[in-house]
Amino acid sequence: MTVSALMNTYGERTTTLTKGDGAYVWDSEGKRYLDALSGIAVCGLGYNHPAVTRAICEQAEKLIHCSNLYLIEPQQALGALLVKLSGMDKVFFSNSGAEANEAALKIARKYGQSKGISNPEVITTVSSFHGRTMATLSATGNDKVKAGFEPLVEGFTHVTYNDLEAIRKASTANTVAVMVEPIQGEGGVNVPASDYLNQLRALCDEKGWLLILDEIQTGNGRTGKFFAYQHNGILPDVVTTAKGLGNGVPIGACLAQGQAAEVLQPGNHGSTYGGNPLVCNAALAATQALIDEQLIERAASLGNSMLEAFKTALTNTAIVKDIRGKGLMIGIELSKPCGELVAAAKEKNLLINVTAGNTVRLLPPLIISDAQASEIVSTVVDLILELQ
Which are the catalytic amino acids? 129, 214, 243
DSSP-based helix, strand, coil % in the chain, nearest 5: 40, 20, 45
Q: How far apart are CA 238 and CA 70, in angstroms?
A: 25
Chain-centre distance for alpha carbon 46: 16
- What is the Cα gyration radius of the chain? 21
Q: How far apart are CA 114 and CA 148, in angstroms?
A: 34
Q: How far apart are CA 11 and CA 143, in angstroms?
A: 19
Between strands 156-159 and 175-180, the pairing is unpaired
- Encode 16-37: b = buried (16+ Cβ within 10 Å), e = exposed: eeeebebbbbbeeeeeebbbbb
Q: How far apart are CA 276 and CA 62, in angstroms?
A: 12
CA distances from 313 to 188, 251, 384 (A): 20, 38, 10
Q: How far apart are CA 140 and CA 153, in angstroms?
A: 11
Residue 68, phi then psi, degrees to nearest 5:
-85, 15
Q: Measure the N-to-C terminal CA separation of the chain; round to a whole number of Å.
A: 36
